[in-house]
Amino acid sequence: MEQPTQAVGWVSRPNQRCPKDNKISAFKNISKNVIKSLSNFHFPKGRRWVAEDIISILAYSSIRGKSIPHTCEKLNAWAVNNNPDASYEYADGRHRRLVPHQTTVNAWLRLLSLHDAEYLTRTIFEASLKQFFIEDNRSKKVILEFDLTYRGYWGKRRDSLIKGSRMVKGTRRIRHYHAAMIHGAGASLYVALQHVAKGQSKIPFMIETARWLQGLGLEIEFCVIDREYYRQGILDELKQVGIDVIVPAKEWKRLRNAKKEYLNGMKGRTQRYFLIQGGKKGRRAKKTRCWLVLHARGNQRIDEIKRGYKQKLITLDEASSQIYALVTTQAPQYAGSRFPLRTKRTYKKRWQIETSFRDNEQHMAIWRSNYDGTRFISEFGRYFLFNAWQIERTKDPRGHRLTFQLFRDELVDRNFGGIHL
């Protein structure tokens, strides 16, 4: 990458007065690692500040969960207090800033388009995955998961990237994000993010992400997805790249018939199932062979529900309401009686992304921007912090007792204890 020629800010310079007590050194290291991994990416340059200074502000904002204006002012006040010789007074009474102002940060972020932001996040995700799986020599067998989340929008834009919805309280407009996560080697890591526009298909992003992960050397055993992905095209495309899918079945007539046949003893709990897509005029409809696996809701046993129905203790509708179904493209011939249990255990990993979405929402920085690239970087900052927590938990002896909130507090106290925010 082309070396910057303009003057660098205080964050990019070592602390000459207190070299052993430079609390921003952690952010400087983060910035250098990010820039090193993006050797082919040309960051926009400002009049005085460089990418390291801006990324340091963004990293601090994401870790502390503070807004950009709050972060800039507090960091600048702390920097001036610890380096009084570096700041001097202008003729009009203003003091030279040692940390970029919020307007500088916002102007820098506006130079990043949505495409640039997506490329930036993909490159950082790739660098972190290579370090976690390849350099640390961990198992490369993972489970891939996709899910959608919604972020409120309160501006006046009405283009394709702003959707109408009531999924977020307080607004009828949202930004729609599509995220991918992998589960493996004792961690659950975000690996991809996309801003979904109106009418945009989800399939290209899913296939591109799957092939990209396979290109990194990861072995995807299953792809677990929510009921809203229950489409023949998604199952076919993922099967073509060698990935089996597990998805909940929708309560259609064919599923109700499958439950009835199981309760009446006509078929087992694992049944062959065909997804049929309507064929064009003059052509035969396309079929996708799957397997339907029935499970009991809650802590019940499905054979107990069947026994209660046969003894006429419950009606057919009551028994059917206590049963749900998973559809998978993997054949059961190699699993035998363990196939239903293994399918259920694998699909349970999907619920972790719902929990992580809620955790990120609670610890998010306060960002409301009208620019898609800026808002995309904000969303990525939360997921990158979540990945850092997951990786740290694999090394910490406390394991699952190291919660996200505890990790965040310890990270703040360890690296930024001298900055009172």
Q: What is the pLDDT of residues 125-146, one digit of tens each?
A: 998 898 899 877 899 999 999 9
Q: 359 or 4: which carries more pLDDT confidence?
A: 359
Query: Does residue 292 form part of some domain?
Result: yes
pLDDT for 160 equals: 93
pLDDT for 193 equals: 94
Q: Mean pLDDT: which of 23-37, 87-101, 130-144, 180-194 is highest?
A: 180-194
pLDDT for 199 equals: 92
- What's the pTM value of the predicted model, to 2 decimals? 0.82
- Identify whether residues 91 and 119 lie together within a single domain: no
pLDDT for 244 equals: 94
Length of the chain: 421
Query: Does residue 405 form part of some domain?
Result: no
**29: pLDDT confidence band, cut at 50, 70 and 90?**
low
pLDDT for 337 equals: 77
- Identify whether residues 262 and 174 lie together within a single domain: no
- Identify whether residues 273 and 329 lie together within a single domain: yes
| pLDDT-above-90 percentage for the chain | 35
Residues 366 and 358 sit within 8 Å (Cβ to Cβ) = no
Please write the tens of the pLDDT for every residue from 283-305: 677 788 899 999 999 888 999 99
- Identify whether residues 152 and 207 lie together within a single domain: yes
User: SS3 string of 183-246?
Assistant: EECCEEEEEEEEEECCCCCCHHHHHHHHHHHHHCCCEEEEEECCHHHCCHHHHHHHHHCCCEEE
- Identify whether residues 133 and 196 lie together within a single domain: yes
pLDDT for 45 equals: 57
pLDDT for 334 equals: 64
Residues 312 and 319 sit within 8 Å (Cβ to Cβ) = no
| Among 16-20, 31-35, 173-177, 297-301, the least confident range | 16-20
Average pLDDT in the chain: 82
Q: 187 or 5: which carries more pLDDT confidence?
A: 187
Query: Does residue 19 form part of some domain?
Result: yes
Secondary structure class of 291 (helix, strand, coil): strand
Runs of H (alpha helix) within 39-197: 51-64, 68-82, 102-110, 114-129
Query: Does residue 402 form part of some domain?
Result: no
Q: 324 or 333: which carries more pLDDT confidence?
A: 324
- Identify whether residues 270 and 344 lie together within a single domain: yes
pLDDT for 5 equals: 34
Query: Does residue 169 form part of some domain?
Result: yes
Q: Which 8-state DSSP code applies to residue 38? A: T
pLDDT for 62 equals: 81
- Identify whether residues 123 and 199 lie together within a single domain: yes
Residues 295 and 328 sit within 8 Å (Cβ to Cβ) = no
Counting the structural domains of the chain, the total is 3
Q: What is the domain range of residue 200?
A: 113-226+350-394
Query: Does residue 3 form part of some domain?
Result: no
Query: Does residue 213 form part of some domain?
Result: yes
- Identify whether residues 31 and 104 lie together within a single domain: yes
In this predicted structure, the answer to whether residue 380 has a pLDDT above a threshold of 80 is yes
**273: pLDDT confidence band, cut at 50, 70 and 90?**
confident
**22: pLDDT confidence band, cut at 50, 70 and 90?**
very low
- Identify whether residues 76 and 216 lie together within a single domain: no
**225: pLDDT confidence band, cut at 50, 70 and 90?**
very high
In this predicted structure, the answer to whether residue 37 has a pLDDT above a threshold of 70 is no
Query: Does residue 320 form part of some domain?
Result: yes
**108: pLDDT confidence band, cut at 50, 70 and 90?**
confident
- Identify whether residues 198 and 276 lie together within a single domain: no
Residue 166, Cα to own-chain centre: how many angstroms?
22
- Identify whether residues 93 and 24 lie together within a single domain: yes
Mean pLDDT of the region 377-385? 86
- Identify whether residues 117 and 105 lie together within a single domain: no
Q: Which residues lie closer than 8 Å to 174 by C-beta, 6 or more apart? A: 150, 151, 152, 153, 162, 163, 164, 165, 167, 168
